[in-house]
Amino acid sequence: MSKRDFITLANLKEKDFQEIFRLSREIKKRRKRGEKIIPLLRGKFMGMIFEKPSTRTRVSFQVAIEELGGTAIYLSGKEMQLGRGETIADTARVLSRYLDLILIRTFGQERVEEMAEYATVPVINGLTDLLHPCQIISDLFTILEKRGTYQNLKIAYLGDGNNVCHSWIIASTILGLDLHIATPPSYSPHVEELKRRGLLGEKKNFHLYEEPEKAIENAHIIYTDVWVSMGQKDEEERKKVFPPYQVNSQILSLASPDCLVMHCLPAHRGEEITEEVIDGGKSIVWDQAENRLHVQKGIILWVMGMEEAV
């Protein structure tokens, strides 16, 4: 089997999504039943390079590989030679001699791509400024659990056209999702950049709006994210233009009566989402967060080519 990386959802076919979902579902079932998971990755080591802070990605991946019998090694960008000028390529070459798998959470998408190019072991994108593929494949898994399908559902995304939004767009072109995105005019997703990088398929299943009401009308899934992502310096300006895109009770009244609310976290309560919504009966935010653990296992097993073992 040739080396598998998990760099962007654009590299996956629909059957790959389905296989990762199957692995995640089976592993989750075993964990919920209290069964001891077979240590499929005993003796395997995963290096976790974090140049950006993290809660969910770090904890879920570390627990995931250790529950599968492997060992996680946390590598802070500041503590590595990367922080002192060593190239990504050289780091990839060296770590490939020590490790069986590399996870990297960083700034530029090109850093992940270079790591994958020079590493001889699988590389997983834990987040970049452009993309967050682990988040969206986990979110789709959660929608499947709650609704049985992601087809014929209107998915509305309100807020910043950021890395999460970009990965939703990519998924929509592969899976044929009915995706509706509302952002302030100056904060729309960078669709042309995605096209330039060859990350979009031929199907255009996403729709862009400035008015949140158009995106949210009769939506089955409402999704939001923080207004200010890590490293962005225009916080005060954003707080002036984003309030109309807040997910609150009023905006939910325009959606389908059985709509579900999602947020990839961390949440800034009272900004992009209200307290009553995130803690309300339509919220599946905590199930969504839990599923990061199960789907990270599915991703790890998939890149390691271990589908037949589960």
Task: Determine whether 264 is an active site residue.
Answer: yes
259 is a catalytic site residue: no
Q: Is the pTM of this model over 0.85?
A: yes
The residues spanned by each domain of the chain are 9-132+292-309, 135-288
- Rounded to whole angstroms, the Cα distance separating 157 from 168 reads 9
Phi, psi dihedrals of residue 101, rounded to the nearest 5°: -165, 145
**CATH architecture group of domain 135-288:** 3-Layer(aba) Sandwich (3.40)
Predicted local distance difference test score (pLDDT) of residue 231: 67
Q: Which pLDDT value is given to residue 200? A: 92
Catalytic residue list contains 165: no
CB atoms within 10 A of CB 203: 12
Contact 95, 122 (CB under 8 A): no
Write down the catalytic residue from 180, 220, 292, 294: 292
Select from 3.40.47.10, 3.40.50.170, 3.40.50.1370, 3.30.450.40 the CATH code of 9-132+292-309. Answer: 3.40.50.1370
Residue 233 burial (CB < 10 Å; 0-12/13-18/19+)? exposed
pLDDT given at position 3: 96
User: Residue 9 and residue 16: Cα distance in Å, rounded?
Assistant: 10
The mean pLDDT values, 10 residues at a time, for the chain of 310 residues are 95 97 96 86 97 94 97 89 85 97 97 98 98 98 98 97 98 96 96 95 88 98 92 82 97 98 97 98 98 98 93
DSSP letter (8 states) at residue 132:
-
Q: Does the annotation count 93 as an active-site position?
A: no
Contacts of 257 (CB under 8 A, 6+ apart): none
Q: Name the active-site residue from 134, 225, 263, 294.
A: 225
Does residue 258 have an active-site annotation?
no
Q: What confidence score (pLDDT) does residue 278 get? A: 98
Catalytic member of 134, 165, 259, 264 = 264
Spot the catalytic one: 4, 5, 62, 105: 105
